[in-house]
Chain A
Amino acid sequence: MKEFSASETRWAWIFLAPCLLGLLIFTYLPGLASLGLSFSYWNFLGVPHWVGLENYAAVLNDPLFWKSFGTTCWFVLVSGILELVLALMLAVWLNRAIRGQSFFRAAYFLPFITPMVSVSLVWGWLYDPSYGLINWALQQAHLLGRPIPWLYDPKTALWAVVILRVWKDIGYNMVIFLAGLQAVSPSLYESAYLDGATSWRVFWRITLPMITPTLFFVGIMTLINGFQTFDSVYLLTQGGPEHSTELLVYWMFKNAFEFYKIGPASAIAYILFMVILVLTFVQWQLRKRWVLYEDET
């Protein structure tokens, strides 16, 4: 049995107390309350009462939930793949001695740090069917016969949200990839090129395997952030048209704060939680196979 010094233990608790108490009150308490509420009937008034699995049954039988769920999965997947591929391409290209390197890095990174609310407004203006820059440019380039009503057509509205997300987040992923690439020893590349390998082969055989830990991290974060998308949808489309952009968190928000259906909203929240948890777990399992070179830290 290891002996602990009483004084050191006391000091440790003093150091831990603020954060620990804060997490217990503002994360654990609401998290458990949310679980309880997902099994209860409540509309912000009176006392919640237990209804068992009714909320989950109601949610799972609601076609709008499944629509929202499908939309979210599609959104997460398409925007995630676009983000990862484009960011990796940028990072590989920028990871060399290039004229204006820091300018490029800053230019691609800038959107990431700006408030989503504000850039959603800007993109709302760019997407404007009659006066927006995007339709005008596409028509000038003869790529478009007549204007696309980007945010007002169920077929294009979600794409509009995807494009906004990719534009905003790509720089962050790029910077993390750059950090991963810079950790790869240059001698590996040198010997490969001496052996006459093409840059394409070098990318697949050396770069990609060496940065799998980074790829794994960026993959998880992109996935999780995608499932939590809210701001852009609230500002651009309010879930419409015809529920085509009603992502899960927005659908939960509407249930809670517009319909006052707290039980179903909490059930949706927990379903979201479970989805994120399962995906994280799957990625952790895959990581064992994928990640070839884990650093020791």
Chain B
Amino acid sequence: MATGSKIQLEQFKQGMLWLLMLLGALLMGLPFWVMVVTSLVKPDEVFQMPPRLWPDGWHWENYQRLFQLAPMGVYFLNSVLVSVVTTVGHVLCSAMAGYAFSRMHFPHKNKIFFVFLITLMVPPQVNIVPLFFLMKTFHWLDTYAALIVPGLFGAFGVFMLRQWFNGLPKELEDAARIDGCNPWQVFWRVALPLATPALAALAIFVFLGAWNSFMWPLIVTNSDNMRTLPVGIATLKGSFRDTTDWTILMAAATLSILPVIGVFLLGQKQFMQGIMAGGSKE
């Protein structure tokens, strides 16, 4: 009998814990809910108590006003372009270097590896002022080049992919070499396809970093044509003087967040595996 009630007590505790965690999960999601609801209520209804947790109508015209007020389409396309090009370029550069470190023998390999290693310790903010001036010297300010090129190179992906290549069997590559492939063909046709899971993981990291990046695009852009979503949204917020129109701001936030959430929900499994691989392989 004693053990029976003990088990019941344990089940009760677990149940309470489950409810507590559910409450926590709902609280985590609540800001997103408030964001979407606020973006859909009438602008003057925002300043009503109690705060609305359910819109009494679907006021899509908030989104219309947002697009009249700021070139959201341009911001959005800029963000897509910058993020996609950065991701493809960054992953390719990292894979090439990682492959060389994993498979090839050349003089001073360890020293060059160390040159890569050091960069991991430098916080990007340290470089930002001279990098800004470098962009000015190149006449790259307020162009896609400034938004993309400095983001193409990073040592983290090189290490991650080097580890991955180290774990791959060499036999397939040897076979390709015997068939007359040069090193680039071996890399491109044999090694790279085998590294797809690691490449996807890195791509997710780089894409998120580029899509969410704020400080650098803020510094190197000054025209509406070049702003990415985060910078555009910050500018929009700054443009309100006396009263902030929260419906418009929440509409803008929704537009910048929904794509990321959509991508996440579509590829949740790869996403988690990617994050875990990135985290634990360090």
Give the docked Cα–Cα distance between A11 and B280 (Å).
Answer: 31
The contact of B25 among A107, A132, A253, by CB within 8 Å, is: A107
Cβ–Cβ contact A23 & B116, under 8 A: yes
Cβ–Cβ contact A249 & B125, under 8 A: yes
The reply to whether the CB of A230 lies closer than 8 angstroms to some CB of chain B is: yes
Give the docked Cα–Cα distance between A34 and B233 (Å).
Answer: 30
Secondary structure at chain A's binding surface: helix, strand, loop or mixed? helix
Give the docked Cα–Cα distance between A126 and B37 (Å).
Answer: 13
Given contacts A114-B212, A115-B229, A136-B51, contact A273 B46 (CB under 8 A): no
In the complex, which residues 20-54 of chain B have their Cβ closer than 8 Å to any Cβ of chain A? 21-22, 24-26, 28-32, 34-35, 38, 46-51
Q: Which residues of B contact A (CB under 8 A)?
A: 17-18, 21-22, 24-26, 28-32, 34-35, 38, 46-51, 93-94, 96-97, 99-101, 104-107, 112, 115-116, 119, 121-131, 133-134, 149-150, 152-155, 158, 163, 182-184, 187, 208, 211-212, 214-215, 218-219, 229-231, 233-234, 237, 246, 249-250, 252-253, 256-257, 260-261, 264-265, 268, 271-272, 275-276, 279-282
Query: How many contacting A-B pairs (Cβ < 8 A)?
Result: 269
Look across to chain B and name the residue whose beta carbon is closest to the beta carbon of A44: B133
Give the docked Cα–Cα distance between A55 and B46 (Å).
Answer: 48
Cβ–Cβ contact B46 & A121, under 8 A: no
CB contacts (< 8 Å) of B272 on chain A: these are: 105, 109, 175
Given contacts A125-B38, A175-B272, contact A34 B49 (CB under 8 A): no
**Can you give 15 A-B contacts (C-beta < 8 A)?**
A15-B99, A16-B97, A16-B101, A19-B116, A107-B28, A107-B29, A110-B264, A113-B261, A114-B261, A117-B256, A125-B38, A227-B123, A228-B125, A252-B125, A273-B122
CB contacts (< 8 Å) of A28 on chain B: these are: 119
Given contacts A104-B25, A175-B279, contact A15 B17 (CB under 8 A): no
Q: Which residues of A contact B (CB under 8 A)?
A: 2, 4-5, 8-9, 11-16, 18-20, 22-23, 25-31, 33-34, 37, 44, 90, 93, 98-100, 102-111, 113-119, 121-123, 125-126, 128, 130-133, 136, 140, 167, 171-172, 175-176, 178-180, 183, 214, 217-218, 224, 227-228, 230-231, 234-235, 249, 252-253, 256-257, 262, 265-266, 269-270, 272-273, 276-277, 280, 297
The contact of A34 among B28, B93, B130, by CB within 8 Å, is: B130
Cβ–Cβ contact A122 & B250, under 8 A: yes
Cβ–Cβ contact B96 & A18, under 8 A: yes
Cβ–Cβ contact A276 & B123, under 8 A: yes
Give the docked Cα–Cα distance between A290 and B152 (Å).
Answer: 36
CB contacts (< 8 Å) of A125 on chain B: these are: 34-35, 38, 246, 249-250
CB contacts (< 8 Å) of A100 on chain B: these are: 22
CB contacts (< 8 Å) of A104 on chain B: these are: 21-22, 25
CB contacts (< 8 Å) of A171 on chain B: these are: 28
The contact of A15 among B104, B133, B231, by CB within 8 Å, is: B104
Give the docked Cα–Cα distance between A108 and B96 (Å).
Answer: 35
Cβ–Cβ contact B130 & A30, under 8 A: yes
Cβ–Cβ contact B230 & A26, under 8 A: no
Give the docked Cα–Cα distance between A25 and B151 (Å).
Answer: 12
Give the docked Cα–Cα distance between A178 and B127 (Å).
Answer: 34
Given contacts A26-B131, A108-B25, contact A235 B237 (CB under 8 A): yes
Cβ–Cβ contact B268 & A115, under 8 A: no
Chain A CB within 10 A, most for which of B28, B30, B116: B28
CB contacts (< 8 Å) of B127 on chain A: these are: 26-27, 30-31, 34
Cβ–Cβ contact A11 & B183, under 8 A: yes
Cβ–Cβ contact B253 & A118, under 8 A: yes
Give the docked Cα–Cα distance between A178 and B277 (Å).
Answer: 12
Closest Cβ of chain B to A284, distance in Å, is 11
CB contacts (< 8 Å) of B17 on chain A: these are: 93
Closest Cβ of chain A to B74, distance in Å, is 17
CB contacts (< 8 Å) of A26 on chain B: these are: 127, 131, 134, 149-150, 153
Closest Cβ of chain A to B221, distance in Å, is 13
CB contacts (< 8 Å) of B154 on chain A: these are: 23
Give the docked Cα–Cα distance between A9 and B108 (Å).
Answer: 10
